[in-house]
Amino acid sequence: MDVLDRAARLDLPGWYVTAGAVFQTVWNTVTGRPATFGIKDYDLFYFDPADLSWEAEDQVIQRSRPLFEEVTAQVEIRNEARVHLWYEAKFGVACAPYAGTEDAIDSFAATTCCIGIRLDGSRWRVYAPHGLADVFNMVVRPNPVLAPREVYEDKSRRWRQEWPELTVLPWPTSATP
């Protein structure tokens, strides 16, 4: 809640707290672990196609530093309108430009990860295109739309070390991103 409250103050376009900070918090609740157990960082995505430069994204990051300095884990802020500029160099596959933050969330390596939450005033906005059943049932399901198989398997292996209760489904043999 602290990260969500602080993120809302930034008033970034199309923002969500997403990825591990969300689904791992659920896993921790389901298994009775402390809420922040195993969470490496908080991913804060936003979408601003007006300026795709690194400098514009970095201005947002620098502006947010004082806001998040008391948060125990790192808050990683990224403009998802820029992902297509660096994705292939990092992951070895091309990424078409996203039309919004939701597109970025849709492309995570596991459908279980495809969740974003934000506060709009006093209202919650939850984006979960694959639903929430797998998250609460601790099932990791591959999402072979973009991320390579190796990314899914590496992440799944790490998550199983922290949450051995997980059921990790295999990457489909016919899938090619």
Would you say residue 152 lies in a domain? yes
Would you say residue 174 lies in a domain? no
pTM: predicted TM-score of the whole model, two decimal places? 0.91
pLDDT one-digit tens code per residue, 123-147: 999 999 999 999 999 999 999 988 8
Contacts 24+ apart (CB under 8 A), 9-12: 9/67, 10/46, 10/60, 10/63, 10/64, 10/67, 12/44, 12/46, 12/48, 12/60, 12/77
- pLDDT at residue 173, rounded to an integer: 85
Would you say residue 38 lies in a domain? yes
Is residue 73 within 8 Å of 85, Cβ to Cβ?
A: no
| DSSP class of 13 | T
pLDDT one-digit tens code per residue, 112-124: 999 999 998 889 9
- pLDDT at residue 175, rounded to an integer: 54
Q: Give me the domain span that covers residue 114.
A: 2-168
Number of domains the chain is built from: 1
pLDDT one-digit tens code per residue, 25-79: 999 999 999 999 999 999 999 999 999 999 999 999 999 999 999 988 899 999 9
